[in-house]
Amino acid sequence: MKTLKSMGYLLGLPLILLAWWWLATSGEPNFFVPTPAKLVETFIDTWFGERILTDVLPSIMRLLVGVLSAIVLGVVLGLAVGLNRTLRAVTEPVFEFFRALPPPVLVPVLMLLVGINDGMKIAVIISGCVWPVLLNTIEGVRSIDPVQNETSRSYGITGFSRIRYQILPAATPTIMAGVRQALSIGLILMVISEMFASSSGLGFTIVQFQRSFAVPEMWSGIVVLGLIGVALSFIFQWVQRRVLRWYHGLKEVENAV
């Protein structure tokens, strides 16, 4: 019964939206909005073939490399800044300046500095994804219970051992919140980076469909992006449940009490 209820919550709204879409397009044909049947047919014809290898997989690889690099960079820098009050005071104005810059405006600059290649696209993704991870890591380190810090010092836990066994576990819930934001930002920047001086990728292909008035094909590309976003969300939730198993267990105990 519980499984059926969960499936109902998961599929209820999408089924309602599909039914509404089918009813809205069941009358006079609209050039700009294909019917569900037409979109499904176009989706299969367009993406179940060579485009998976030439457009979809390269885009996903650039997205994963960019997001993972941003996570590693954000956590490492966040730990260094969060643990050092002087370093935090020095870097805060610089971080606020660069955080305020929209990553798409950096695309021309990165094209000049890095070149027109996959490295530029990955750099664009990193430039936007690193900030939520970095700032959440700093905040997570700063908000650690002072009693934990005093306990670690009392037991002589210092250096890397303290980071591994006290700092990182305590800051992980906040870090994971930043990672979730980075995933959605990364997907957006993946598309934007492929719209500039590119000859492959989902962003490039969707723009080409739009410019050639291939409307059903354009919509099918948007569906691909949505499916990638859903897949990333489910993967993140699966990872989060395992990484924060202790945290959710602690919350359950606190709520029971």
Contact between 178 and 54 (Cβ < 8 Å): no
**Mind listing the pLDDT tens digit for each residue in 19-63?**
888 887 777 777 788 888 888 999 999 999 888 998 999 999 999
Amino acid at 25: T
Closest CA to 132 of 193, 207, 59, 184: 184
Q: Domains in the chain, please, with CATH?
A: 37-252 (1.10.3720.10)
Query: Mapping DSSP to helix (H, G, I), strand (E, B) and coil, where does residue 26 land?
Result: coil
What is d(CA 228, CA 52) in angstroms, rounded to the nearest whole number? 13
- Spell out the per-residue pLDDT of the chain, length 257, in tens: 566 666 666 677 778 888 888 887 777 777 788 888 888 999 999 999 888 998 999 999 999 999 999 999 999 999 999 988 888 888 888 888 888 888 888 888 888 888 888 889 999 999 999 999 999 999 999 888 888 888 888 888 888 888 888 899 889 999 999 999 999 999 999 999 998 777 888 999 999 999 999 999 999 999 999 999 999 999 999 999 888 887 666 565 555 55
Count CB-CB contacts under 10 A for residue 36: 13
Beta bridge partners, 30, equal: 33
